[in-house]
Amino acid sequence: MTPDQRREAIVDATLAVAIEKGLASTTVRDVAAAMGTSSGLIHHYFESMDEVLAAAFEQVARQDLALSERLMGEAGSPTSAMAVFFRTYTPVDKDWSFQLWLDAWAEAARRPAIRVVSARLNLAWQDLLERTIRAGVGAGEFRSDDPTAAAWRILSLLDGLALQVVAHGTTIDRDDVLRWAVRAAEEELGLSVGVLAG
Amino acid sequence: MTPDQRREAIVDATLAVAIEKGLASTTVRDVAAAMGTSSGLIHHYFESMDEVLAAAFEQVARQDLALSERLMGEAGSPTSAMAVFFRTYTPVDKDWSFQLWLDAWAEAARRPAIRVVSARLNLAWQDLLERTIRAGVGAGEFRSDDPTAAAWRILSLLDGLALQVVAHGTTIDRDDVLRWAVRAAEEELGLSVGVLAG
DNA sequence: TCGTCTATTGGACGCTTGCGCAATATCGTC
DNA sequence: GACGATATTGCGCAAGCGTCCAATAGACGA
């Protein structure tokens, strides 16, 4: 294995563990066991465990963003791009990804490395939404007098609702999140009810 | 010190530590040191550290809720109660309180005691909002075909936006949060622009 | 004054953590 | 085939954690 491959393997293994145990309780030994190697190897490629965790979080967050960005780009119109956004942002089988976001937000205030990554990626999501909204307004599909605010509102409402599902699991369920967020977005963008659903 | 006073002292000390170090990395020894007592004493009053942390978080969250509930109750109408809600939910000088919410949401998945408290208090906030909305609809001040969903949307949008300020500090600022959330709520409840502001 | 009950101490226990380090395996190069 | 570089091992270290417990201190009623 080349150094680059090995670094990648470490990040992948870290991710696999973090999915099950959470970012905060992922240990060097866990990662080593997941790779089938020794724990010392990880410190041969990374200065500290914090850097490993930050790299893992960044990878997952960037992959999710890249996937949504690609699928939204392939959509035929801003309206269907927005529908794709809702489907890809709230996948049923990826609670662990959102749990990583919760961990990151909580840790951001105290860990500069995490704050930088988290802020950059949140901004990137908002930017993706804002560009889509502006395109929709330009194409006459959406109506919005403040695309910046609209993008933040759509994103933050989804975050706030999804948070309830992932953190508590009992307050509201996944269907509520998607239904309520989609409905708010339709209102926000001047669309008729049901256009963004399904 | 009576048992009640001691319990209270433990919770207070835990809070003081948690505000600085975060809920997740507050240890028994930290709390004992903050009180100037031994660590064993804490386990004489609490079954586990999880319960201490949950009690500390609950104290802050219940105080905030009680304050909002009281002030909203003193408001003359559902509309002004809703305006009071926005002013009390986003206080300038209490970032640390919202930071504890972030900690709690992230830890909820791993610590049952925290999950229970966090879920209960989130539900209580939603319930407070839902009751206000229903009162407003009954009084002919609001328009809403689903007060439950409306309450969750208003609360979650505010959480999602506030999260950006507290976690990152750079993406958006406090004024944006209040302005955007208020605007969305006015839309949600069929109010004219500016009614909930100031 | 004595006895009892409880608050409080302070350290031991077992476990886990990130990290460092000497020893070993592996592999490309001459 | 030998050698040097480096990838990899596996264990040890010191520190930290929550929890538990025997011992002590102190207050209060009999």
- Over the Cα atoms of chain A, what is R_g? 19
pLDDT at position B110 is 84
Kindly state whether B190 is in contact with chain A, defined as any CB-CB distance less than 8 angstroms.
no
Write out the two tokens for A127: 């930017």
Distance A162 CA to D3 C1' (A): 59
pLDDT band at residue B111 using 50, 70 and 90 as cut-offs = confident
Q: How many helices, marked H, and strands, marked E, lie in chain B?
A: 9, 0
**Cα A186 from Cα A180, distance rounded (Å):** 10
pLDDT at position A144 is 97
Reported as a single tens digit per residue, the pLDDT across A159-183 is 999 999 999 998 999 999 999 999 9
The mean-pLDDT minimum among A72-76, A110-114, B29-33, B167-171 falls in: A110-114
Residue B140 contacts residue B76 (beta carbons within 8 Å):
no
pLDDT at position A24 is 85
To the nearest whole percent, how much of chain A has pLDDT over 70?
97
In 3D space, the residue among A85, A63, A64 whose CA is nearest the CA of residue A74 turns out to be: A85
Kindly determine whether residue A167 and residue B118, on different chains, have CB atoms separated by under 8 Å: yes
Q: What angle do CA A5, A8, A12 make, to 5 degrees?
A: 135
To the nearest whole percent, how much of chain B has pLDDT over 90?
89
pTM of the model: 0.92
Distance B45 CA to D29 C1' (A): 25
A51-76 average pLDDT score: 94
Write out the two tokens for A165: 């599902």
* Surface of A (4-23) touching B: CB under 8 A: 22
Burial B30-42 (b: 16+ CB within 10 A, else e): bbbebbebeeebb
pLDDT band at residue A93 using 50, 70 and 90 as cut-offs = low
Going A40 to A42 to A47 to A49, the CA torsion angle's sign is negative
- Tally of CB atoms within 10 A around A69: 18
pLDDT at position A91 is 67
Kindly state whether A124 is in contact with chain B, defined as any CB-CB distance less than 8 angstroms.
no
What's the full length of chain A, in residues? 198
To the nearest whole percent, how much of chain A has pLDDT over 90?
78
Going B101 to B105 to B107 to B108, the CA torsion angle's sign is positive
